[in-house]
Amino acid sequence: MSTVEPVAALLVDDSSQQRLGWRMILEAHPDIEVVAEAPDGARALALARRMPLDVVVMDVRMPRVGGLTAAERIRADLQVREQGGPPGIVLMTALDLEDFVGPSAEVGADALLYKDVEPEALLAAVLAAATTGRAHA
């Protein structure tokens, strides 16, 4: 068993079924723990402000506050905090990936993936992005 704390992940999507799918993939890995879920970017930002997170897996397009806006706010709001810097961000989309490459880079996302990505690729992106979040701790 590892002595390293598991990666603390927040899942954000307006579809509870999508969050469940991500949860099943991520929690199958022994070093990842899903610690919270949110249906939109506004709730994600509220959770990120009050709990230590290593990575946020978030849909690009959601009602109220979308993933791009939430990612930008999470990065800006959490640059300085007791638990370290902001968490890593993995943005997900069911739409044309090319439409979001530039905007996701502008908001500081660590990865941009299709929602139907292979589980291994999602795990690799989450673990890599979590390293970004932990580097600030």
Q: Report the share of the chain in percent with pLDDT over 90.
A: 65
Map out the domains of the chain as residue ranges. Answer: 7-135
- Please say if the pLDDT value at position 86 is more than 50: yes
Query: Looking at the chain, how many residues does it have?
Result: 137
Instruction: Please report, for the chain, how many H helices and E strands are present, in that order.
Output: 5, 5
Report the range of poorest mean pLDDT among 11-20, 55-64, 75-84: 75-84
User: What is the CATH number assigned to the segment(s) 7-135?
Assistant: 3.40.50.2300
- Please say if the pLDDT value at position 28 is more than 50: yes
pLDDT in tens, 36-47: 999 999 999 999
Q: Say if CB 109 and CB 71 are below 8 A apart.
A: yes
At 81 the pLDDT is 52
Q: How far apart are CA 20 and CA 47, in angstroms?
A: 18
pLDDT in tens, 95-125: 887 788 888 888 989 999 999 999 999 999 9
* pTM score: 0.89
